[in-house]
Amino acid sequence: MSATQQKNTCFTKNPFLDHLGFEIEKQDNKDIVIKLSIDLKHLNTNKTLHGGVHASMLDTIQSLALKEVCQSNVAVMNLNVQYLSAISSGVVSARARINMLGYKTAAVESAIHDEQDVLIAKGSGIYKIIRSSNK
Domain of residue 87 covers 3-130
pLDDT digit string (tens) for 121-132?
999 999 999 988
135 inside domain:
no
pTM: 0.88
Q: Give residue 1's pLDDT.
A: 42
CATH number (domain holding residue 65): 3.10.129.10
Summarize pLDDT for 65-99 with one digit per residue, the tens.
999 899 899 999 999 999 999 999 999 999 999 99
- Reduce the secondary structure of the chain to three states and give it as a string: CCHHHHHHHHHHCCHHHHHHCCEEEEECCCCEEEEEECCHHHECCCCCECHHHHHHHHHHHHHHHHHHHHCCEEEEEEEEEEECCCCCCCEEEEEEEEEEECCCEEEEEEEEECCCCCEEEEEEEEEEEECCCCC
Residue 28 belongs to some domain of the structure:
yes
Is residue 105, in this structure, part of any structural domain at all?
A: yes
Domains identified in the chain, total number: 1
In a domain, 103, yes or no: yes
pLDDT tens, position by position, 15-50: 888 889 999 888 776 788 999 999 999 999 999 999
- The whole-number pLDDT of residue 2 equals 44
pLDDT exceeds 50 at position 57: yes
Q: Are strands 32-37 and 73-83 parallel, antiparallel or unpaired?
A: unpaired
> pLDDT-based confidence at 9, cuts 50/70/90?
low
Determine, yes or no, domain membership for 83.
yes
| pLDDT given for residue 27 in this prediction | 77
